[in-house]
A and B are shown apart, each in its own frame.
Chain A
Amino acid sequence: MNPDNNNSTLFRYLLIAVLITMTAGLVYALLSLPLLASGLSFQVTQNLQLSGVENPVTAVLLNFRAYDTFLEMGVLLLALLAVWSLGTLPKQRETAPGEVLNSLSGLLIPILVLMASYLLWVGASAPGGAFQAGSVLAAAGVLLILTGWQLNEKLQGLPLRFALVAGLSIFMAVGVVLMLFGRRFLEYPPSVAAALILLIEAAATVSIGITLVALFSGGRPESEQQ
């Protein structure tokens, strides 16, 4: 890089000029947008009582645009599969956490799990839902890993994998069962929409939480020699 130091300074100024031009264009585009644009909020409010939940964001996520959320669970799983295919978990000794750390995590983990369940439940009527609950659950899992805990070897095989795919597969199962009743994929009947959304969200919360923890640990668990 040293021989063309002059070149890189020139490049840097050129880049700044290009980016300022781009920013100016974007700002111009932004400022020429209309001041009032309600988008799709009218349609959402109109159909909210059919969706089974009172929170419009949850209604969009899990009902009106459930297909997006379904595929998003697939993206999460795909990212984990890619991470797992790149290597195994670095071998770590199970460390015994100190007394203070141990009691702290013992206090915090139940609170985090409780908070995740609350967020999952409250998502029907207020901000909250599967993703928020899943990330709080993942925070609990990351805390456990950082304080030296490890997943029991017996749970590292099939049980872990079942938990990882639970969200996606229950989502798909609900969609397919609805098709058997002559509806379209993920078109909930309004009478059972609330229960179906809660079922899907509960499974998704567990899967999202565990997937995020698995992504955090950054490798596939060493499979026991078979």
Chain B
Amino acid sequence: MSAVFVYSLVGIGLFNLGLYALIIYPHLLRKILAVNIMGSGVFLVLVALAGRTASGVPDPVPHAMVITGIVVAVSATALALVLMLRVSAATGQPELPEEK
């Protein structure tokens, strides 16, 4: 099995671990971290699958997409963290209130 598939399998693993944590833990900071881990998994799959060329030089298009994606993920994380701070300032706890 080539390194490409090892890396992309690890990416799938990261994605599912993140999804599990996103659903299970109520704490918003954990949810934000979980979404970031899911994103890292997707990036890993994209970067790894770009390496399946005959020449060995990876396909630059997915790499450019991942660079774009990282910046978007960083700004979304910053926005999510600020929203989390607002929620915990408004309700006194860093979790979304239980639905009645």
Contacts and interface: CB of A to CB of B under 8 A. Distances in A.
Asked if A and B bind, the verdict is: yes
Interface of A: 12, 15-16, 19, 22-23, 26-27, 30-31, 33-41, 44, 56-57, 59-61, 65, 68-69, 72, 75-76, 79-80, 82-83, 86-87, 129, 131, 208, 211-212, 215-216, 218-219
A60 B82 contact: no
B53 interface: yes
Interface of B: 2, 5, 8-9, 12-13, 15-16, 19-20, 23-24, 45, 49-50, 52-55, 57-65, 67-68, 70-72, 74-76, 78-79, 81-83, 85-86
Contacts, number: 119
Contact of B83 (A33, A34, A38, A86): A86
B61 A41 contact: yes
A15 B20 contact: yes
Given A27-B9, A218-B85, A41 B53 contact: yes
A83 B76 CA distance: 10
Nearest to B58: A41
Nearest to A48: B60
Contact of B75 (A35, A69, A79): A79
A19 B20 contact: yes
B98 to A, nearest CB: 8
Nearest to B75: A79
Most buried by B among A60, A83, A86: A60
Contacts of B67: 57, 61, 129, 131
